[in-house]
Chains A and B, each alone.
Chain A
Amino acid sequence: NAHRCPKSEGVSLNRDMACGHRYIQGK
């Protein structure tokens, strides 16, 4: 699997989708 996030920022388990990003930001 491609690890799309740098290791220090966590690891993605998805080939085509960056993890840990949402489309809205909290306050």
Chain B
Amino acid sequence: IVGGMDVPERKWPWQVSVHYAGIHICGGSIINEYWILSAAHCFQKEKSTEAFDMYVGLVDLNVAGSHTQWFEVNKVIIHPTYELYHPVGGDIALVQLKSRIVFSDSVLPVCIAPPDVNLQNVVCWATGWGVISQKGHTSDKLQEAQMPLISLLLCQMLYGGPSYIMSDMLCAGDIRNVKTVCEGDSGGPLVCEFNHTWLQVGVVSWGRGCTYPMFPAVYARVSYFSEWIHYHVEHTPLPLQPLPTRSSMLAATLSAPVTMLAFLLTL
């Protein structure tokens, strides 16, 4: 986030850090105890599902707090129109975790904007661990910034025509104060408050640079995809949980004293 501020703990409890091979590459949001919403381009075909990790309950990328949880990925579902009608169109992905998220004050789901959401006069915020300056500096602390929504028509004019900004996209950014999302924020949420409830209206997707105010950031429009999201969350079977076997139970009974011994040896 360029022009943002450090976030206090528990302020955005749905924020996810998507790691690939141990490095933060994208954001995401918790929508369900088994599901994360993110951007399709964070999960390019050449990337291996096994190398992804999802972190929730995190504010500082370098410090796992008492509320931090870590998850492996069971399945990634990319929207079927991704890259079909536009180089970054349909930029939305659903990530199913191998095990369930335990909710707490610091880890909670966000609501999905319905297809008929009215985005007039709402206050919206973007969050992420992406680039924070023109020089490409990053911050380990989660950043936030209030992002005014920009009408589709104005955004199309700024970018040079309707073929650049399609109906599955949404533009937002503080042009006057140069606040916007940047590299590394992709997949993260744009959320707005409606009657004390936070709805996710956008997924950070793309833009022409981060510091050219005339080119606001472009998000995947969540309301356009909400039925697809609901369909897959409701119809995709949960991951198979490994059943305890006689040998693994034996291993568990053995591993506890061994762990304890290792702990005592380190004292």
Contacts and interface: CB of A to CB of B under 8 A. Distances in A.
- Tell whether A and B belong to one assembly: yes
Interface of A: 1, 5, 7-14, 17, 19-24, 26
Interface stretch (B104-112, B147-155, B178-186, B244-252): B104-112
Contacts of A22: 10-13, 108, 198
Given A10-B117, A14-B32, A23 B10 contact: yes
Interface of B: 8, 10-13, 31-33, 35, 103, 105, 108-114, 116-117, 191, 194-200, 226, 229-230, 233-234
5 contacts: A10-B199, A13-B31, A19-B111, A19-B197, A24-B10
Contact of B197 (A5, A13, A26): A5
B236 to A, nearest CB: 12
Secondary structure class of chain A's binding surface, majority of residues: loop
Given A8-B116, A14-B32, A24-B8, 7 more contacts: A9-B197, A9-B199, A10-B114, A19-B108, A20-B111, A21-B198, A22-B10
Contacts of A8: 114, 116, 194
Contacts of A17: 33, 103, 108-109
B11 A20 contact: no
Contact of A10 (B10, B12, B112, B233): B112
Contacts of A10: 111-114, 117, 194, 197-200
B33 A14 contact: yes
Given A19-B31, A21-B196, A24-B8, A11 B230 contact: yes
Nearest to B32: A13
A9 B195 CA distance: 7
Nearest to A5: B111
Contacts of B116: 7-8
B179 to A, nearest CB: 15
A21 to B, nearest CB: 6
A19 B194 contact: no
B223 to A, nearest CB: 10
A14 B112 contact: no
A7 B113 CA distance: 9
Contacts of B230: 11, 13
A23 B110 CA distance: 13
Contact of B111 (A12, A24, A26): A12
A14 B109 contact: yes
A14 to B, nearest CB: 6
B8 A19 contact: no
